[in-house]
Amino acid sequence: IVFYKKQSYIQGDYVGSRYPGARKYGVAPLSGFFPIHASQAGDYEFIAQLLTSAAMHNATGGFDGNRCYEAAQRGEISDPYLCGMSNYSYAYMEANFFIINSALDAYSLLNIYNGDTDCQHDEFNECSIKQIGDFDGWESDFMDQVEAASQFTRKGNGAFIQSCLEHCAVEDSKTFESLSIDGMTVSQALQQWWESSGSDPAADHTYTPCTLNKLGEHQCNPTCPNQVNYLEISRMKKRNVPSTPHAYSTPMGL
C-alpha cells in the first residue's frame, strides 16, 4: 500500500506495475489532492506557477506509467503537464485508491485560495459568517472535482475526506486513531478498505465532510485535532513566489 501525498496520484500506477506478483496493491495518499481552483482574487497564479515549473524542468520524465500522461500522448488531454495535477491523474488511476484528505486542507487554502487568511486558524472559529460561506464554497468545489472522476465511485475504491483545517495531521498517531466521521476513525476506515475484497462498492468505504456551521462553533467535526498537534501546520508558510511570466493564465479543470 502506497501512502505518499501528491506523488501517489502521479506515480501510484507505476509503482504498482513494479510488483506484478503482489497479492494486493493499493494507493492511499495523504493530503495530496490539490484542486485546480482560482484564488479569492480570481487568479490562478499558484496553479500556474506549478505548471510552469513542471514545464521548465520537463517533469514528464517522472510520468512513467501515469495513465493520464498516456492519454495526453494520445491527444485526449491538451497539455501533458496537467497530469501533474491531482484531479487529472486521479481520473485515470487504475490501482485501487483510497483518498485521505481534508476538503479544507490548510496548505491549499493558504496557497491556492489565498483568501480570508486572517481567520485560517482555530478551526475557523474567528471567521465571520461571510468568510464561512467562502470556505463552504471552497469545500463544495473541492468535492465537485473529486467526485467528477469515475474513480470516486468505482468498485474497490474509497475515501475519507473531512472538514478539519489541517495538512497531513493524520501522520500523528493519536490523530490517526481519533479523527472520525460518523464514528468511523481514519485508521478504521483505512483498515476496512484494505482488508476488503478489493471489489466492494466504493460507497461502502467512502466518508465525506460535513459543512461548517454558520453560528456558534464553526467547525462541524468535533474530532478535529487541536492545532498544536498538527505536524505541519505550525511550520507551513505561504509560498511567496515572485510573479513571473508564464504560459498558463486559467488552467483547465476537469
For the segment 124-181, what is each residue's pLDDT rounded down to a tens digit? Answer: 999 999 999 999 999 999 999 999 999 999 999 999 999 999 999 999 999 999 999 9
Residues 6 or more apart from 50 whose CB is under 8 A from it? 84, 85
Which CA distances in Å does 195 have to 9, 34, 123? 21, 27, 33
Q: C-alpha angle with apex 83: 78 to 84, nearest 5 degrees? A: 135
Predicted TM-score (pTM) of this structure: 0.90
Work out the average pLDDT over 199-210.
Answer: 98
Collapse the DSSP code of 161 into the 3-class scheme (helix H, G, I; strand E, B; otherwise coil) and give the result: strand
pLDDT digits (tens, 9 = 90+) for 12-39: 999 999 999 999 999 999 999 999 999 9
pLDDT of 58: 87
User: Which grid cell sits at 153?
Assistant: 465511485
pLDDT of 1: 66
Query: How much of the chain, in percent, has pLDDT values that exceed 90?
Result: 78
Query: How much of the chain, in percent, has pLDDT values that exceed 70?
Result: 87
**Nearest in space to 82 (alpha carbons), one of 95, 63, 96, 102:** 63
Work out the average pLDDT over 170-198.
Answer: 96
- 207 strand-pairing partners: 160
pLDDT of 96: 96
Collapse the DSSP code of 222 into the 3-class scheme (helix H, G, I; strand E, B; otherwise coil) and give the result: coil
Asked if 251 and 82 touch (Cβ cutoff 8 Å), the reply is yes
Binned at pLDDT 50, 70 and 90, residue 3 comes out as low
Collapse the DSSP code of 175 into the 3-class scheme (helix H, G, I; strand E, B; otherwise coil) and give the result: helix
The single-letter DSSP state of residue 242 is P
Stronger pLDDT, 207 or 233, i.e. the higher one: 207
User: Which grid cell sits at 234?
Assistant: 505550525
**Nearest in space to 226 (alpha carbons), one of 184, 186, 172, 188:** 172
pLDDT digits (tens, 9 = 90+) for 215-241: 999 999 999 986 544 444 444 555 544
Question: Taking 80 as the threshold, does the pLDDT of residue 88 lie above it?
Answer: yes
